[in-house]
């Protein structure tokens, strides 16, 4: 029989986890993906909130396992996060996120959760997982440059009068199609594993080199998507552009669910081990939290953000969403917790420089980066200190 204390601990941690999931759904991962399409009048605010919730839930269930496992089991070595440590980590991160929401500070969920989990893990006597930290650091540092650089290049291409949009937009859609062909989904793999269309093709043609099959499948997917959007754009250029924005918004919302749900669920995994709960059920619960956050909190954020995105215009919105989708999927593949705010902000800044950079505030950029660093350091310090104090009191 499970002890009453264990059940109480689980309920507290579960409540903090659900709050995190709600905050993520109501925040950047729930509001940002469709804001460009709303700004371009391609979809209404309420309909955008409805679809972003469903797509976030789908992404959480189909792609959330890697990041969830990484946050719950790979950030600290030689120590298992205890129930009390999980409670401290989740409450620390949740309180910091709540303070950020109500005070208007850009608290990055990925930074707070990662810092809190590492803090309590080291307080437990665990060892630093330096290889994983290197992966995370490379991803976090590279994101502004890679995302901003890609967004800058795409925006410059779309603004180039020598490159017709009827050609550029379908080709960009083809690139997205190629990325989709190598993206892994649970439904395509054997039980407990994920697979991509390219890997399924390689498995069905064992006599051919895997690399060749991967390239062939990616090129085929790119050709199909390019042709479909070219026909759409040729019939009505503005409608085709709006359709591409809607598709990109859907892909980013799906990717956000897969990359962000682990931030809410990861610290909860050690508590669930005695109950032998299937991971897919856990992911569904976290995805449901994202959905509720998207349906209850995201519409107001989408409406506010869409005004900013409408100022960006559809070209810059497309330029910002393409690298956001690619970076989020990279993080999902490698199981790296990432800040969706960092991804989106860096992409918007990159597309802004392509337009001359007049609306890009260097001071605001500096404050945002400092807030991210402070979020990580504060969460780590509080996680370590609070757990050490609680452990001493209970000893």
pLDDT digits over 172-231, tens only?
999 999 999 999 988 888 877 889 999 999 999 888 899 999 999 999 999 999 999 999
Token pair belonging to 270:
């050690």
Report yes or no: 289 and 21 within 8 Å, Cβ to Cβ: yes
For 167, what's the count of Cα atoms within 13 Å in the CB-facing half-sphere? 7
Closest listed residue to residue 121, CA positions, set 394, 337, 372, 387? 387
Contacts of 194 (CB under 8 A, 6+ apart): 62, 63, 65, 184, 185, 186, 188
Report residue 360: phi and psi, to 5°.
-105, 115
In whole numbers, what is the pLDDT of the chain averaged over residues? 87
The sign of the CA dihedral 67, 72, 75, 77 is negative
Report residue 98: phi and psi, to 5°.
-60, -45
Distance of CA 359 to the CA centre of its chain: 26
The pLDDT > 70 percentage for the chain reads 91
pLDDT exceeds 60 at position 378: yes
The full set of domain ranges for the chain reads: 4-394
Token pair belonging to 263:
């931030």
- The whole-number pLDDT of residue 359 equals 53
pLDDT digits over 231-259, tens only?
999 999 888 988 999 999 999 999 999 99
Q: What would the 3-class secondary structure string for 112-178 be?
A: HHHHHHHHHHHHCCCEECHHHHHHHHHHHHHHHHHHHHHHHHHHHHHHCCCCCHHHHHHHHHHHHHH
pLDDT digits over 71-112, tens only?
999 999 999 888 889 889 988 988 887 777 676 565 788 999
pLDDT digits over 147-164, tens only?
999 999 999 998 888 889
Report yes or no: 283 and 65 within 8 Å, Cβ to Cβ: yes
Kindly provide the b/e burial profile for residues 343-365, where b requires at least 16 CB atoms within 10 angstroms of the residue's own CB: bbbbbbbbbbbbbeeeeeeeeee
Contacts of 333 (CB under 8 A, 6+ apart): 66, 183, 184
pLDDT average, residue stretch 261-278: 87
- The whole-number pLDDT of residue 372 equals 82
- The whole-number pLDDT of residue 352 equals 79
- The whole-number pLDDT of residue 1 equals 47
Distance of CA 354 to the CA centre of its chain: 25
CA 274 → CA 82, 83, 277, distances in Å?
12, 11, 8
pTM: 0.90
């Amino acid at each position: 029989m499970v002890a009453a204390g264990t059940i109480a601990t689980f309920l507290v941690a579960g409540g903090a986890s659900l709050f995190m999931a709600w905050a993520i759904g109501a925040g950047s991962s729930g509001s940002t993906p469709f804001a460009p399409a709303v700004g371009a009048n391609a979809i209404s605010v309420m309909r955008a909130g409805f679809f972003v919730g469903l797509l976030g839930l789908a992404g959480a269930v189909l792609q959330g396992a890697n990041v969830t496992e990484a946050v719950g089991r790979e950030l600290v070595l030689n120590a298992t996060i205890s129930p009390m440590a999980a409670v401290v980590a989740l409450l620390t991160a949740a309180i910091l996120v709540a303070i950020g929401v109500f005070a208007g500070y850009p608290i990055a969920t990925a930074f707070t959760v990662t810092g809190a989990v590492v803090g309590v893990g080291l307080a437990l006597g665990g060892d630093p997982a330096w290889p994983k930290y290197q992966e995370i650091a490379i991803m976090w540092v590279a994101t502004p440059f890679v995302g901003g650089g890609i967004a800058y290049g795409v925006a410059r291409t779309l603004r180039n009068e020598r490159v017709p949009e009827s050609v550029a937009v379908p080709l960009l859609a083809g690139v997205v199609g190629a990325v989709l062909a190598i993206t892994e989904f649970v439904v395509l793999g054997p039980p407990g594993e994920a697979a991509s269309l390219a890997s399924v093709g390689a498995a069905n043609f064992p006599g051919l080199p895997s690399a060749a099959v991967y390239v062939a499948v990616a090129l085929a997917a790119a050709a199909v998507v390019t042709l479909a959007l070219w026909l759409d754009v040729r019939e009505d250029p503005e409608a085709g552009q709006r359709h591409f924005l809607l598709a990109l918004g859907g892909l980013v919302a799906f990717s956000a669910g897969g990359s962000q749900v682990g931030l809410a669920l990861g610290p909860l995994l050690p508590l669930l081990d005695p109950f032998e709960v299937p991971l897919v059920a856990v992911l569904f619960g976290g995805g449901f939290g994202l959905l509720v956050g998207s349906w209850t909190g995201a519409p107001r954020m989408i409406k506010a953000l869409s005004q900013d995105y409408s100022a960006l215009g559809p070209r810059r919105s497309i330029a910002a969403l393409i690298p956001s989708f690619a970076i989020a999927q990279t993080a999902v593949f490698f199981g790296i917790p990432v800040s969706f705010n960092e991804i989106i902000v860096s992409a918007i800044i990159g597309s802004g420089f392509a337009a001359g950079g007049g609306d890009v505030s260097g001071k605001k950029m500096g404050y945002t980066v400092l807030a991210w660093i402070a979020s990580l350091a504060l969460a780590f310090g509080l996680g370590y200190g609070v757990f050490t104090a609680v452990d001493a009191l209970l000893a």
